[in-house]
Amino acid sequence: MTDAAELLTRTKELLAAHPPAGTDRTEFLKARFDAGLAWVHYPKGLGGLDAPRSLQAVVDAELTAAGAPENDPRRIGIGLGMAAPTILKYGSQELKQRFLRPLWVGEEVWCQLFSEPGAGSDLAALATRAVRDDEGTSHSSEAGSGGDWVINGQKVWTSSAHVARWAILIARTDPDLPKHRGITYFICDMTDPGVEVRPLRQITGEAEFNEVFLTDVRIPDAHRLGEVGEGWKVAQTTLMNERVSIGGSRIPREGGMIGPIARTWRERPELRTHDTHQRLLTLWVEAEVARLAGERLRQQLAAGQPGPEGSGMKLAFARLNQEISGLEVELLGEEGLLYGDWTMSRPELVDFTGRDAGYRYLRSKGNSIEGGTSEVLLNIVAERVLGLPSEPRNDKDVAWKDLTR
């Protein structure tokens, strides 16, 4: 098995062969991927070395110290956190070879075509249809596959769709089955002429997310992940990884949303009141404890004893981000009445703790909605972690086409 010493040697070799100072950013990242140092727990030949996940830190520390460029995970988070693990688990060898390298390097951005106007929390109710066209296969389809799939429907709140080259997509292949059973999982080419991306402006004034209209979009059968009708199962891999990725990185004290308000407090004594002091200290304590809980989760994962804590961290951070940024606007008083810029734009990445307090306050409202609402996450904790019984349901054994909409 690959150990820390070997990884360190390989990292040093990489740095020697491609000195960061004199190497083009993308070239360096490609070389890093090929050396198996991108995500060491991935298989050999796919950016990894089949090493324990915990040893990634060894590589990262050495590369950071040497000033090596990063792949900017904020810009390609959906690819790294959701598409990649799903492709790794369900993709053919060709798909893995084709997609993982440009995904990790950041040459190809991914987006997630899951939510629909009628299917948010109840994602399995989705209506976008995928029908197999046995007549023709498109030029892009690979050898050994069945006919193309033809996709029609609408997706919504799709982050990064305007910059994405590829998408993970779930669509209904059998409306006669109960909703969880008639879904299939695909990789969708965002340059297909049938894909139309329209910006969807949000409460911050800009448009991070989009509406995506799919009209006769053709997808080769080779770009299907998992069996036909098994899309819900495949999607669980995507969604689980979405939540695990949160505990992944180490945050320094005051590293999150509490940082800006703590700085303001220290630098601007004239803003202080007794009431805001009490509330700030309470939130500071909660933020520090949440940071420690994230750190503990990270240590559990590294020690190979993943706990169910992952599902909880997102809940904690969503509430904290909202309360802290809300207090910050209030603390700023007259300044809190102003907003940086309402101009409509389409950003490439989200800077959660950047910009002004008003932006942070508004953007953090999404933290308890995106990636599963807090209410839904509480359901998950209650049922899967605590083992509490589910509410009586009336949607499980009904064909999808007979559900009320």
Ligand X SMILES: Cc1cc2nc3c(=O)[nH]c(=O)nc-3n(C[C@H](O)[C@H](O)[C@H](O)COP(=O)(O)OP(=O)(O)OC[C@H]3O[C@@H](n4cnc5c(N)ncnc54)[C@H](O)[C@@H]3O)c2cc1C
Minimum CB distance to ligand X, residue 180 (Å): 15
What would the two tokens of residue 192 be?
């297909």
Check if the beta carbon of residue 115 is closer than 8 Å to that of residue 158: yes
Residues 6+ apart with CB under 8 A from 90: 185, 225, 226, 234, 237
Q: Spot the catalytic one: 116, 208, 242, 328.
A: 242
Element (H, E) at 128: none
Minimum CB distance to ligand X, residue 72 (Å): 18
> Which residues, 309 to 328, sit near other proteins by CB under 8 A?
309, 312, 315-316
Closest-CA residue to 33 (of 95, 91, 107): 107
Check if the beta carbon of residue 283 is closer than 8 Å to that of residue 327: yes
Q: Which does 100 bind (CB under 5 to 8 A by kind): ligand X, other proteins, none?
A: none
Q: Which does 300 bind (CB under 5 to 8 A by kind): other proteins, ligand X, none?
A: other proteins
Closest-CA residue to 132 (of 173, 168, 165): 173
Minimum CB distance to other proteins, residue 355 (Å): 23
What's the rounded Cα separation, in Å, for the pair 67 and 64?
5
Minimum CB distance to ligand X, residue 339 (Å): 18
Q: Which does 392 bind (CB under 5 to 8 A by kind): other proteins, ligand X, none?
A: other proteins
DSSP secondary structure letters along 318-362: HHHHHHHHHHHHHHHGGGGG--S-------SS--TT-S-HHHHHH
Stretch that binds other proteins, among 28-36, 72-80, 89-97, 301-309 (CB under 8 A): 301-309
| Residue of the chain from 289, 340, 341, 354 that contacts other proteins (CB under 8 A) | 289
> Which residues, 222 to 251, sit near other proteins by CB under 8 A?
250
Strands 148-159 and 110-113: unpaired
What residue ranges bind ligand X (CB under 6 A)? 111-112, 114-115, 120-121, 157-159, 209, 366, 369-370, 372-373, 375-376, 379
Q: Which does 286 bind (CB under 5 to 8 A by kind): ligand X, other proteins, none?
A: other proteins
Strand intervals (E) in 146-290: 148-159, 166-172, 183-189, 195-200, 209-219, 224-225
Minimum CB distance to other proteins, residue 291 (Å): 9
What's the rounded Cα separation, in Å, for the pair 153 and 213?
6
Stretch that binds other proteins, among 31-39, 146-154, 235-243, 269-277 (CB under 8 A): 269-277
Active site residue 288: no
Residue found under tokens 């949000």: 202
Minimum CB distance to other proteins, residue 369 (Å): 16
Q: Is 281 in the site for other proteins (CB under 8 A)?
A: yes
Q: Is 129 in the site for other proteins (CB under 8 A)?
A: no
What's the rounded Cα separation, in Å, for the pair 224 and 272?
57
What would the two tokens of residue 304 be?
């190979």
Q: Output 217 or 262, the one with its CB closest to other proteins.
A: 262
Q: Which does 27 bind (CB under 5 to 8 A by kind): ligand X, other proteins, none?
A: none
Write out the catalytic residue numbers. Answer: 242
Contacts with other proteins, residue ranges (CB under 8 A): 250, 262, 265-266, 269, 272-274, 277-278, 280-282, 284-286, 288-290, 292-293, 295-296, 299-300, 303, 305, 307, 309, 312, 315-316, 375, 378-379, 381-383, 385-392
